[in-house]
Amino acid sequence: MHVMKKKLTPKSIDALPPANGKRYEVHDALLPGLHLRVSATGGKVFGVSRRIAGRMKRIRIGAYPIVSLADAREKARSILRDIELGQYDQTPSSVVDSASRLTLGDVVPQFIELYAKPRNKDWRGTERVLQKFAPLFSRPIDQIKRADVVRVLDTIVAGGAPTRANRALAAIKKLMNWCIDRAMIETSPVASLRPPTKEIARDRVLTDEEIIACWHAGASEGFPFAHFTQLLILTGQRRGEVAGMRWSELDLDKGIWTLPAKRAKNATLHIVPLAPLAIFVLNSVPKFLDSDLVFTTTGTSPISGFGRLKERLDVAVGLDARDWRFHDLRRTMATNMAMMRIQPHIIEAVLNHKTGIVSGVAATYNRHAYLDEKREALQQWANRIEEMTNCSALRGWTDASERPEISARTNFSNSAIG
């Protein structure tokens, strides 16, 4: 471990870069014995190093900035004074890092707040999957064994959710590595533990007949699921992104949907050109009074209940089609675009999907450079949908000015293009 010595100040601590590989320590020139350990993720933890009864001991004080430099120096002086006077309690419970007395149940909320939330848009999913380890929540974090985690994973697999077990393992691995960075534990009990299930990448693509059935079954749903289903098919965007669509994101005159980075799954601003058929569907959506949400039944939150919608669509699509998911509509569109000889990097741009075909500065520039190509690709796909579903005879409102405004008490009976 690389060690350096300098006078610690709040400014110098904030400027310390993450470790490049192994952790490093900065020893305080003002108070010998006090040090700050910096991890590869940028985590910073105060501690005291001192020889006690002939053996070097490391005593954890706390993580910065939760523990300030002034607090750390005060605590370090108290510990060092007790050591010099021979009054320091050398029982394992006192010499061992105080974090070792934290339970997994104590650590999970800290991990979510300090690590998952700032880095992961789906931090709630991480929080939910970590709840699978609730049987271990009362266990001290440094006493959790590999076998304990394996038993939890086996229980998840036995419950019929093998993929969920893989996600649970990935989450607990991140949590344990975070605990190492913050000096809560020395080693991870799940390091190199293999996923319990081998995952096979999905390759499900809906047939033309299934697309037709899904389109017409969606149309029979009425607002909001009729329009939602058809826009999923026409745009190929993610379910949550379409469900959370805002009127303020749309410019129907220019045929543009601008999905902000904060709502995109990959945190990248995405411009989606809208084909005339997609604009027609949106023009037939009744607008909720004083709400920016396009798909809502309350005016305050986006639609939900996708599982029940999927069950209703399955009835129309057919029993043999129950293995499809809403996400497969993206793959279906991409596959059809490839069959129409649309270039892979254009398909990637349409999906806002970072596959590595375009990367670096080019990826930033091409969000805008491919606007015309994306529009042409989505127009070709809309033409194919219109041809397959025979929805040329458009019905409903044809102009945004004719769209009614509705309130929470409105009976939603309007349907999209059948």
**pLDDT by residue, tens only, the chain of 418 residues:** 678 888 999 999 999 988 876 778 999 999 999 999 888 777 888 999 888 877 778 888 988 888 899 999 999 999 999 888 887 765 544 444 444 468 898 899 989 999 988 887 778 889 999 999 999 998 899 899 999 999 999 999 998 888 889 999 999 999 999 998 887 888 899 998 999 988 766 788 899 999 999 999 998 888 999 999 999 999 999 999 999 999 999 999 999 999 998 888 877 889 999 999 999 999 999 988 889 999 999 999 999 889 889 888 888 776 455 578 899 999 999 999 999 999 999 999 999 976 554 555 455 455 555 899 999 999 999 999 999 988 754 444 334 444 445 444 444 444 456 6
CA distance 273 to 258: 9
- Answer for the pair 300, 409: CB distance below 8 angstroms, yes or no: no
Q: What is the pLDDT of residue 149?
A: 96
Nearest partner of 312 among 178, 221, 404, 381, judged by Cα? 221
Q: How many CB atoms lie within 10 A of CB 75?
A: 17
C-alpha to C-alpha distance for 77 and 81, rounded to whole angstroms:
6
d(CA 82, CA 265) in angstroms, rounded, equals 52
Q: What is the pLDDT of residue 94?
A: 43
* Residue showing tokens 């501690």: 47
Characterize the bridge pairing of strands 287-288 and 405-406: parallel
CA 135-141-143 angle, to 5 degrees, is 85
Question: CA 216, 224, 262: angle at the middle one, nearest 5?
Answer: 115
- Which residue type does 320 have? D
**pTM summary value:** 0.58
Looking up tokens 């910073």 gives 44
**Cα(365)–Cα(359) distance, integer angstroms:** 10
